[in-house]
Chains A and B, each alone.
Chain A
Amino acid sequence: MFILLRHLIFNRENLLPVPVPDFTKRLCCGWATLLVLLFCPASSGYAEPSVDVQKLSVAIVQSEEGGSYAEFSDALRKTLGDRVLTHVEIDLDKPIPNAGLVVAVGMKAATTVAASNAPAVLNVLIPKAGYEKLLRDFPRRASSHTFGAIFLDQPVHRQVLLITSILPDKKNVGLLYSSPPKELPQFRKELLEHGLSLHVQAVNPGLPLSESLQELLHSSEVMLAQPDAAVYNSSTIRNILLATYRSSVPLIGYSSGYVKAGALCAVFSSPVQIATQTAALIRQFGDLHVLPVAQYPQEFEVLVNEQVARSLGLQIKSAAKLHDEISAENGGEP
C-alpha cells in the first residue's frame, strides 16, 4: 500500500501536462522526499540511510531514452534529489561522467559502464543471466565490491508462490526452454516443497516449436514462462498462448507485457520499485562505500488477466490478494 502511495506520489510529476524544468523537478523531488520521509513509515527491509548520502555524486546511464529507463531514472532522481549530477543516455561520444557511483540502466548501459573506469557501478534493469555475463566479461568488476545489480528477474520462490496462490489446484507445472536455465534445480526443489511437480521440455531445434509445446502441454496443468528468447519472443508468444488455450493450460508470464498478451498472470517489478530499491542501495553505498551483493528486486507487482481467467474458466483471486499472499509468505531475501 505504502509502495503504491509512494509510487503515486513520485509519479505525480509524470501526470503534469507541461514539461517541468529540472530545477523544479528537483525541488519537488526534494519536497516530496521530505514529506515522504516525514509522513511515511520506514520502508520494509532497509535501515534509514545516513545523511552522508548528500556527498555522493551519482550518475545514471540509460541504455535508451524514454520508456522504462526514463521511468526508472525519473523515479530515482526524485528519490535522490539533487545528488544526482548527470543523467546520460548511452552514447559512444559522450564519456561516462565522473561520478562516485554510476547507475547503469539496462544491459547496454551496464556493458558500457562496466567497461569504463567508473569506480562503482550499480546495474539495474538487467536479468540475472545478464549480470552473470558481465561478471564473466569483466572479471575486474567481479572481484570488486563496487559492482552491484538489481535483477529484473523475480526470485524463484516468488514465482512458485504465485503459482500456488493463483492455481492452488494445479499440481503439474510445465517449463519449456531452449536450454535448461540455471535456476532449474531451484525450481524443482521449490515446487516440490509446495507439492508441485515440474515437467520440463527442451525445444528441439529441428522440429517446430509447437510439437515440443504440445508435448509439454500434455503433461502440464500450468505453464511457467521464463525469459528465453528462443522460445518466448514476439513471434511465438501469441501462438504459444493459443496453444496453451487450446489445451486449457494457463501460462504464467514473467512481465506485464506477457499478461497483456494473454498470459494468465505474472509477477514483476516496475521501474519505480526498482528505483526505490536503487536509492536505498545508493544511500547505503554513500555510507558504506560498498555495494551489496547483486540482488533480486524486493518490491514487486502482480498482474492478472481476468479475461484469460474467464476464458479458461478459472476462478482466481485478485491481483492485490495474490500480492498480499505472496508478500506474506515471502519473508525475506531469496
Chain B
Amino acid sequence: MKRYGIERQILLVALIPILVMAALLENYFIYSRFADLDAALLERSQMMVHQLASSSEYAVFSGNGALLQQDVDATLAQQDVSKVVVLDAAGKPFTGGASGGYGQYETLFVKANRSNPVYQDGDVLVLYEPIVATQVKLDELDREAGSMLVAGKPLGSIIIEVSKLHLNRHKHEILLFNLVVTLLILMATLVVALWMARSVTRPIMGMSTAIRRIGEGNLGTRLSPQPRVLELNELAGGINRMAQQLQQDRDILEQRIAEATRELRSKSTEALRASEDRLLEIIEVMPVALFVKDPASRIILMNRACEKQWGMAFEDLQGTDASQFFPPGQIADFLAMDKKIFADRVKVDFEEKTWNAAFDENRTVHTFKKPVFDSEGNPLYLIGVSVDVTERKLSEENLLKLNESLEERIVWRTRELAQAKEIAEEANRAKSQFIANMSHEIRTPMNSVLGMAQLALRAETNPRQRDYLKKIQFSGEHLLGIIDGILDFSKIEAGKLNIEIVNFDLGAAIGNVANLVGSGAEEKNIGFDIEIDPSVPRYLRGDPLRLCQVLINFTNNAIKFTEQGEIIVRATKVSESESEVQIRFQVQDTGIGIANEVIPELFRPFQQADSSITRKYGGSGLGLAISKQLVMLMGGEVGVESEMDKGSTFWFRVPLGKGSKPEMLPVQDQQVMAAINDAHILLAEDSLFNQQVASEFLKVAGCVVSVAGNGKEALDLLKKQHFDCVLMDIHMPIMDGFETTRLIRADATMAGMPVIAMTANASAESRERCLAAGMNDFVSKPFKAYVLYAALANWLSMRPTLPAGSFTPSDEATLTDDSRIIDLSVLAEMMSGHPERISEFANRFIMSTSADLDEIEKSLERNDMEELLALGHRAKSPARMVGAIGFANLCQELENCARNGDIELARDIVSQLRSLLQQISRRIEAL
C-alpha cells in the first residue's frame, strides 16, 4: 500500500501539471494554427477573387467571353477553387464565364452576395466580389470640360467557391499529429515518473522489511546505504544506528536478567525451604489428623495428630498403603474412594466408620479428602484430614433424646398455660364486663340522683334545703367522677389505653385546658397564667388528649388546693434532638402544699394526702395515679415539688415528636376523636376497596376494626365478639344491610347495637328505609372521614366507658363535647344573639324537656314501649331546635329502642339523657 501511495502521488504530481499544460498549449496552438489556416485560405481566396475581378474588368466591360474564360480558367486552376461564376451588372452569368454547372450559381448567390460577400461553412468558402471599373483620376479641367467623376457602378460580379477539403484534411493531420505527440510526451512523463517513484519506494520497502526483521528480533539486520536519495540514506543510517543500539541494549538486558535470575533463584530456594519448614511445623501442630497420599494411595505424610488417631507411627506407614494395618474390606474402600476422588477431581468429605487396629475399637471419623493435580492435570497427591467424631456422635444422640423428652414436657406445659391464659382472659373479660355493667348500673341511678338534685335545686329556695341538695349533687358528681376514674384506670391497667400520635398545636391544647379550668380559678379569685417558652415548637406530635387530661388533672388539683394567689401553667423545652423534643409541663400553685412524707404515695391509686383531704376537698384519689400512668404511657416522667403552705409544683416531662400543623380539625373534634378512639367497629362492606378505605379511616382514628364481607359474616362476628358499633353497607351479597339490621334488632343480645348505614343513595326515601330497617343513622358514600367520625362518636356515646372524666365535681370541666351538650350558636342565630332571650328560651327548653324526661322514666318503669316511643320522638325536635343535637340523637336512639322493645338499652339511654340534660342546663346557667 505504501508503495502504491508514493508512486501514485509522484505520478499525479508529475502527470497532472504536464497534462494540464499540454492540454492548454495544444489547445492554443491547434486553435491558432487552425485560425491561421482558415485566415490563409480566406486571404488567398480573397486575393484570387480580387485579382480575377480586376483582371476580368475589361473582359466584362467588353463582354469578351473568351477573355473572361481565360481568367476564369486561370482561377479555377488554383488549388481548392471549385466554382467560379462571373455575373454581369444585371446579375446574370456570362456565357462561358462559369464552370461547374450553372445550376449551382443560384445557391452560390444565396450564400454570398453584395450584402454578404463572405460566406463560410465547414466545407466551403464562398466569396463575392463586384467588378468595378478602375477609376481614372481627373483634374478640375477635365471636370470643367465635362468629364465627370462617376462613382464606379459595378460592371458585374464574381462569386467563387473554395473547397475546404484540403484545409480540413490538413487540420485533421495537425490534430492527429498533436495527439500523437501529446501521448508520447505523456507516456514519457509516465515512465519517468514511475521510475522516480520506484527509486523512492523500493528503498523504502527494503527499509520497512528491515524494520520488521528488527522488530521480530533480528537485531543484527543492517541496511545498505542509499546513494541515490539523500533522505533515504539518512533514514537507513538512522535505522542502522537504532538496530545497533537495540542490540547493545538487549545484550546488556540479557546479562542483567541472567544475574537477577540467579539471585532470585537462590533467594527463592531459601524462601521455599523456609516456608516448607514452617508448613511442616503447622501440619505437625494441627490438632486434626492430616495425611497425604500419593496417587497410588501410599502414605507420604502424616502429622502427629494422625499418628495419635490411628495409633500408628508415620515411619511404619510411610510408603505403604496401610493395607496391613487395616481390615482388607476397609482398605479396599479406602483405595476405591481415593481412585474415585482422583477421577472426579473433586474434594469430598464424608463420615466413615472405621475399625482402628491399634486401639481395637470402632471409631467414627469425619474425613476430608482433596486431590491435587499438576499443571498438566495429572494426579500429584491426595490431601486427607480426619476428625474423630465418635464422641460427638454420642453426645448428639443423647441430645436428641433429651430434646424429645423436653418437647413432650413443653407441649404439656403449653397446654396448661393455655388453659391458665383462658381462665385469666375470662377473668379479665368478666372483670371488664363487670366494670362496664357496674358503671352502667351505678351511673344510671346516679344520673337520676343528680338530675333530681338539680331539679330540686331549681325549685327549692330554702337555703338549708339548697345546701343539702348541693351536697347531694356534689357527692353524686364526685361518685360519678370516681367511677370514670376507675374505668380509666382499669383501662390503663388492661393496657387498652392507646396513646395517639398526631400533630397538634400545643398552644391550642393548653388554651383549651385553660378554657376548661379557667372559670374554676376565676370563681376562687385565683390568678391563672399560661407561660409557653418560645423555644417550645408550636406544632408537636403526640397525644394531645392525654396531655390535656394530665394538665387538667393537675390544674384542677391546683385550683382545688389553692385558696389565694395564682396558678401558672408552664411549658419549657428540656432538650431537643433531630426528631424529638423533651417538653416539661408544670402546674405551679400557691396552695396549701404537700408534706414531704406524703409525696411518694401521691401517685398511687386511691391515695390522697390524708383522709382529711378527702373530706375537705373530695376527689377520687385516682386522678394523679391516672396522670402518672398516662405520662408513663407517653414515655415520660412525672413528679412534684412542694412546700407546705407555700405551694406545689406538679410537673411532667414527655418526649414529643416535632410535628407540623395539625389537620384542620377544630378543638372540639378532639372530643369526637376521643369518643371513637378505641371503639370496636364492625365494618360490613362487600367492596374490598371500600373495606380498605373505611378501615383506614377508622384505624387512623384509633378504632379497632373488624371486617365482614356480607351480612351473614357480620352476624357471625357480632355473635362472637363485642363491638361498639356497626358500619353497615346496604348492598351486600348473601344478606344485605337491611336484613342484617333487622336480624340484629331481633337478637336481644345485640339489639342495642348502634348501626350506621353507609349508603350511596342519599335520597329521603332510602334514608327512611334505613331508619325503618332499624338503623340508627346513615352516612352517605363517599363519606368524609370527619363525618364518619362524628357519626360514630355520636352513636358511641352509649358505650359503657366514657372518655376520661373530670375529677372535680364543682365544675363541669369534663372533656365532653360542648356541641354535643348544646350548640349555642343555633339559639344565638334564632334569637339574633340577644343573650337574655337565649337564656329564656333555653330555660324554657330545660323545663319542658325535664318534664318530658320524667314522663319517659315513668313509661320506662311501666315498660310502655309505645309511650316511650312517642315521648322520645316528642322530646327530639325541641332538642334539635335549641341545638342540643346530642340530646336529640339520644332521643332518636330511645325511639329505636322503644320500637325494638329493648328495655335495657332504653334504660341506659334514659340515664344518659338525664345526665346530658343536666350538663345542658349547667351550660345554659353559665350563660
Instruction: Say yes or no: is B140 at the interface (Cβ < 8 Å to chain A).
Output: yes
The answer on a CB contact under 8 Å between A234 and B141 is no
Q: Are B150 and A152 in contact (CB under 8 A)?
A: no
Indicate if the CB atoms of A243 and B141 lie closer than 8 Å: no
Partner of B141 from A125, A214, A236, A246 at Cβ < 8 Å:
A125
- Option from A208, A256, A258, A268 in Cβ contact (under 8 Å) with B63: A208
B42-66 interface bits toward A, Cβ cutoff 8 Å, 1 = contact, 0 = none: 0000000000000001100111000
Q: How far is the CA of A232 from the CA of B152 in the complex (A)?
A: 13
Residue A242, interface by CB 8 Å: yes
Q: Is A64 an interface residue (CB 8 A)?
A: yes
A229, B144: Cβ atoms closer than 8 Å: no
Could you tell me the distance between the alpha carbons of A235 and B138 in the complex, rounded to whole angstroms?
A: 10
8 CB contacts below 8 A, A to B, read A63-B144, A125-B140, A234-B138, A236-B150, A255-B138, A261-B136, A268-B141, A271-B141
Known: A129-B146, A229-B146, A239-B57. 19 other contacts (CB 8 A): A63-B144, A67-B139, A67-B140, A68-B139, A127-B144, A130-B144, A153-B145, A208-B63, A209-B61, A210-B61, A233-B147, A233-B149, A234-B135, A234-B138, A235-B150, A235-B153, A238-B133, A239-B61, A271-B141
Partner of B140, one of A106, A227, A234, A239: A106
Judge whether B141 and A257 touch: CB under 8 Å.
yes
Please, how many residues of chain B have a CB less than 8 angstroms from a CB on the other chain? 25
Whole-angstrom CA separation of A287 from B133 in the bound complex = 52
Asked if A228 CB lies within 8 Å of chain B CBs, one says yes
> Do the beta carbons of B138 and A239 come within 8 Å of each other?
no
* A residues in contact with B149, CB < 8 Å: 233-234
Bound CA–CA A232/B138 (angstroms): 11
The answer to whether the Cβ of A107 comes within 8 Å of any Cβ in the partner chain is yes
Q: Does B134 contact A (CB under 8 A)?
A: yes
A106 vs B144: C-alpha distance when bound (angstroms): 7
Q: Does B148 contact A (CB under 8 A)?
A: yes
Is residue A296 contacting chain B, with contact meaning CB distance below 8 A?
Answer: no
Which of A214, A246, A257, A268 gathers the greatest number of chain B CB atoms within 10 Å?
A257
- Indicate if the CB atoms of B133 and A69 lie closer than 8 Å: no
- Cβ distance A212 to chain B, nearest Cβ, rounded Å: 11
Docked complex Cα distance between A57 and B63 (Å): 57
A211 within 8 A of B: yes
Chain A CB within 8 A of B142 CB? yes
The answer, yes or no, to whether A147 is at the interface (CB within 8 Å) is no
Q: Shortest Cβ distance from A246 into chain B, in angstroms?
A: 8
**Known contacts A129-B146, A153-B145, A235-B133; is-contact A69 B61 (Cβ 8 Å):** no
Q: Which residue of A lies closest to B153 (CB)?
A: A235
Considering the chains assembled together, what is the distance between the CA atoms of A194 and B803 in angstroms?
Answer: 191
Bound together, the chains give a CA A246 to CA B141 distance in angstroms of: 28
In the complex, what residues of B have CB within 8 A of residue A106's CB?
A: 140, 144
Contact B62 A227 (CB under 8 A): no
A contact set with B: CB distance below 8 Å: 63-64, 67-69, 106-107, 125-127, 129-130, 152-153, 208-211, 214, 227-229, 232-239, 242-243, 246, 254-258, 261, 268, 271
CB contact under 8 A between A239 and B144, given known A67-B139, A68-B139, A257-B139? no
The distance from the CB of B828 to the nearest CB of chain A, in whole angstroms, is 138
Ranked 6 nearest A-B pairs via Cβ: A227-B146, A239-B61, A235-B133, A227-B145, A233-B150, A210-B62
Q: Is the interface of B mostly helix, strand, loop or mixed?
A: loop
- Verify if B137 is at the interface (C-beta below 8 Å from A): yes
In the complex the two chains form, is B150's CB within 8 Å of A234's CB?
A: yes
Question: Are A126 and B137 interface neighbours, CB within 8 A?
Answer: no
Is the beta-carbon distance between B58 and A233 smaller than 8 angstroms?
Answer: no
Complex CA distance for A168 and B838, rounded to whole angstroms: 186
CB distance from B140 to the nearest CB of A (A): 4
- Which residue of the partner chain, among B140, B141, B147, B151, contacts A229 with CB atoms under 8 Å? B147
Give the Cβ gap from B894 to chain A, nearest Cβ, in Å.
156
A64-B140 in contact (CB<8A): yes
- Which B-chain residue is minimally distant from A68 (CB atoms)? B140
Contact A127 B146 (CB under 8 A): yes
B139 contact set on A, CB distance < 8 A: 67-68, 255-257
| Distance between B915 CB and nearest chain A CB, rounded to angstroms | 157
- State whether A258 and B144 are in contact (beta carbons under 8 Å apart), knowing that A234-B135, A235-B150, A239-B57 are contacts in the complex: no
Q: How far is the CA of A130 from the CA of B146 in the complex (A)?
A: 9
The answer to whether A243 and B62 touch (CB under 8 A), given A126-B144, A257-B142, is: yes
Shortest A28–chain B CB gap in Å is 25
Chain B residues whose C-beta falls within 8 Å of the C-beta of A152 in the assembled complex: 141, 144-145
A126, A208, A211: which has the most chain B beta carbons within 10 Å?
A208
Q: How far is the CB of B714 from chain A (nearest CB, A)?
A: 149
* Distance in angstroms between the alpha carbons of A228 and B139 in the assembled complex: 15
Q: Select from chain B the residue with minimum beta-carbon distance to A124.
A: B144
How far, in whole Å, are A236 and B149 apart by their CA atoms in the complex? 10
Contact pick for B133, options A126, A228, A236, CB 8 Å: A236
Which residue of chain A is the closest to B67 with respect to CB atoms?
A246
Whole-angstrom distance from the CB of B64 to the nearest CB of chain A?
8
- Check if A234 sits within 8 Å of B146, measured CB to CB: no
Tell which of B140, B151, B152 touches A69, judged by Cβ atoms closer than 8 Å.
B140
Write out, one digit per residue, whether chain B residues 709-733 have a CB within 8 A of any chain A CB (1) or not (0): 0000000000000000000000000
A238 x B136 contact (CB < 8 A): yes
- Most chain B CB atoms below 10 A, which of A210, A233, A238: A233
Q: Which of B134, B136, B141, B152 has the most CB of A within 10 A?
A: B141
Distance of A190 Cα from B144 Cα, bound (Å): 25
Evaluate contact between B137 and A233: CB separation under 8 angstroms.
Answer: no
The answer to whether A237 and B141 have CB atoms under 8 Å apart is: no
Q: Which B residues lie within 8 Å of A232 (CB)?
A: 147
- Closest-by-CB residue of B relative to A241 is B136
Whether A237 contacts B136 by the Cβ 8 Å rule is yes
Most buried by A among B135, B139, B140, B151: B140
Chain B residues whose CB sits within 8 angstroms of the CB of A235 once the complex forms: 133, 135, 150-153
Is A233 a contact of B148 with CB atoms below 8 Å? Answer: yes
Among B134, B141, B146, B152, the residue within 8 A (CB) of A256 is: B141
Nearest CB in chain B: distance from A299 CB, A: 14
B149 to chain A minimum Cβ distance, whole angstroms, is: 5
A129-B147 Cα distance, complex, nearest whole Å: 13
Contact B134 A227, beta carbon cutoff 8 Å: no
B residues less than 8 Å from A268 (CB atoms): 141
B81 vs chain A, min Cβ distance (A):
26
Bound together, the chains give a CA A153 to CA B148 distance in angstroms of 16
Distance of B484 from chain A, by nearest CB (Å): 158
- In the complex, what's the smallest C-beta–C-beta distance from A254 to chain B, in angstroms? 6
Residues of A within 8 A of B146 (CB): 127, 129-130, 227-229
Chain A residues with CB under 8 Å of B62's CB are: 210, 214, 239, 242-243, 246
The answer on a CB contact under 8 Å between B144 and A257 is no
Shortest Cβ distance from residue B353 to the other chain A in the assembled complex, whole angstroms: 161
- Nearest Cβ on chain A to B57's Cβ, whole angstroms: 7
User: By the criterion CB–CB under 8 Å, are A227 and B147 in contact?
Assistant: yes
> Nearest CB to that of A106 among chain B residues?
B144
Residues of B within 8 A of A211 (CB): 63
Query: Looking across the interface, which residue of chain B has its beta carbon closest to that of A64?
Result: B140
> Inside 8 A of B140's CB, which chain A residues have their CB?
64, 67-69, 106, 125
Asked if A234 contacts B147 (CB within 8 A), the reply is yes
Which residue of the partner chain B has the closest CB to A208?
B63
For B105-147 the 0/1 string (1 means CB < 8 A from A) is 0000000000000000000000000000111111111101111
- The answer to whether B148 and A257 have CB atoms under 8 Å apart is no
Of the candidates A127, A210, A242, A271, which one forms a contact with B145 in the assembled complex, judged by CB atoms under 8 Å apart?
A127
Contact partners of A234 in chain B: CB under 8 A: 135-138, 147-150
- Distance in angstroms from A168 CB to nearest chain B CB is 27
Kindly state the separation between the CA atoms of A214 and B58 in the bound complex, as whole angstroms: 13
Q: Which of chain B's residues 619-641 have a Cβ closer than 8 Å to chain A?
A: none
The complex places the Cα of A301 from the Cα of B140 at a distance, in Å, of: 17
**Which residues of B are found within 8 Å of A69, using beta-carbon distances?**
140
- Chain B residue numbers with a CB within 8 Å of A243 are 58, 61-62
Q: How far is the CB of B97 from chain A (nearest CB, A)?
A: 15
Bound-complex Cα distance A50 to B150 (A)? 46
Set of chain A residues within 8 Å of B150, measured between Cβ atoms: 229, 233-236
Taking a contact as CB atoms under 8 Å apart, the answer to whether B147 and A239 are in contact is no
